Amino acid sequence: MPDDPLHQPHDKLFRSTFSDPRNAAAFLRHHLGGGAASCMDWASLALLPGSFINDQMKGFEADLLFSVKVGPSDALVYILWEHQHSEAPVMALRLLTYMVRIWDAQLKNQGRPAKLSPILPVVLAQDKDRWRTSPEFQDLFTFPEALEKTARACTPDFSFRLLQLADMAYGDIQGTPEGILTLRSLKAEPLGELLRSEVWDRSVIAGVSREAVERFFRYVLNADVDRESFKARVFSQDSAVLTSAAMTLAEQFRQEGRQEGEVHSRRQALFDVLEARFGEVPAGLVEALAAVSDVQRLEKLLRHAAVCADLEAFASAC
């Protein structure tokens, strides 16, 4: 099975697509703006390892860092994928934190480079409503009039490129077919438009790989769209590849459903045995057992629950 069930479907689709520098380059060269795109050697774009987002934001953001040649020098392009579906007024401050982490990592990995690499930060927002957040860092501050010149000179000053799917018509999204399909899907999801004809553009879908089609199908179905309407969309494409991918995915979902059913039944049997022998199961132990998803592990715990002396002895085996 090529993909596990999606825990964070937006992140999964974004990362799977734009970790490929070809997809990232084709999108950025059209949407970066400001004249920056024309001076970059997009063939040199390379994905760098690491994530720099805060732990508390990992459910709402994903990030990708790239290096790119600009003449004889290197620059960094940092894409922050934002899908919390609400505006982030202090985004510039959050970005500054991430950028400092990137520079710290550069110092750690390269020792003491002669100069740090400049970072071009790009925020790609999925929210269905347009943000009014300023991309200028210094707009976060109120400078006292008497100290404005001095205070501004002592305050970091940068801006980020804010790309909002809410601002882009489906047809205005540029890039590779895989990149276009991904961003049209991500734009459509909060609007409830995943079955819209612009998302299912034959000329776009015909240009993506079988793997990308399956990822797209998984994302659509994870959004709990009407299954019959989904099938109608698949068959309306009149594509053997799409029909085959849909059938493969349906079988994967059936297998996942059976596995989830086995896990659920064994976990429930485990709780029943523990409650019958020892009464109410402590909340902490319930939480720990709920995190166990391996059938063989649950069967072993079930056998232990049947013979252990007490809950403390059982908990020691978890």
Identify the pLDDT of residue 69: 95
Contacting residues for 209 by C-beta, under 8 A, at least 6 apart: 178
User: What Rg, from alpha-carbon coordinates, does the chain have?
Assistant: 25
Pull the structure tokens for residue 318.
């978890």
Identify the pLDDT of residue 81: 92
SS3 1: coil
Q: Which of 241, 237, 193, 191 is nearest to 214 (CA)?
A: 241
The per-residue pLDDT string of the chain (318 residues; one tens digit each, 9 = 90 and over) reads 333 334 467 888 999 999 999 999 999 999 987 688 889 999 999 999 999 998 878 778 899 999 999 999 999 999 999 987 778 899 999 999 999 999 999 988 877 767 899 999 999 999 888 999 999 999 999 999 999 999 999 999 999 999 999 999 999 999 999 999 999 999 999 999 999 999 999 899 989 888 898 889 889 888 888 888 888 888 888 777 788 777 776 666 556 656 667 778 888 889 889 988 888 888 888 888 888 888 888 888 988 888 898 888 888 777
Identify the pLDDT of residue 223: 86
Identify the pLDDT of residue 7: 46
Pull the structure tokens for residue 125.
């927002």
Contacting residues for 211 by C-beta, under 8 A, at least 6 apart: 2
Identify the pLDDT of residue 258: 60
SS3 142: coil
Asked if 98 and 48 count as a contact pair (C-beta separation under 8 A), the reply is no
* Beta-bridge partners for 46: 67
Pull the structure tokens for residue 314.
């059982």
Identify the pLDDT of residue 292: 85
Q: Which of 77, 176, 79, 90 is nearest to 126 (CA)?
A: 79
For 273-307, give one letter per residue: b (16+ CB within 10 A) or e: bbeeeeeebeeeeeeebeeeeeeeebeebbebbee
**pTM > 0.85:** no
Q: Strand 119-125 vs strand 161-164: parallel, antiparallel, or unpaired?
A: parallel
Pull the structure tokens for residue 116.
């740090």
SS3 26: helix
SS3 117: coil
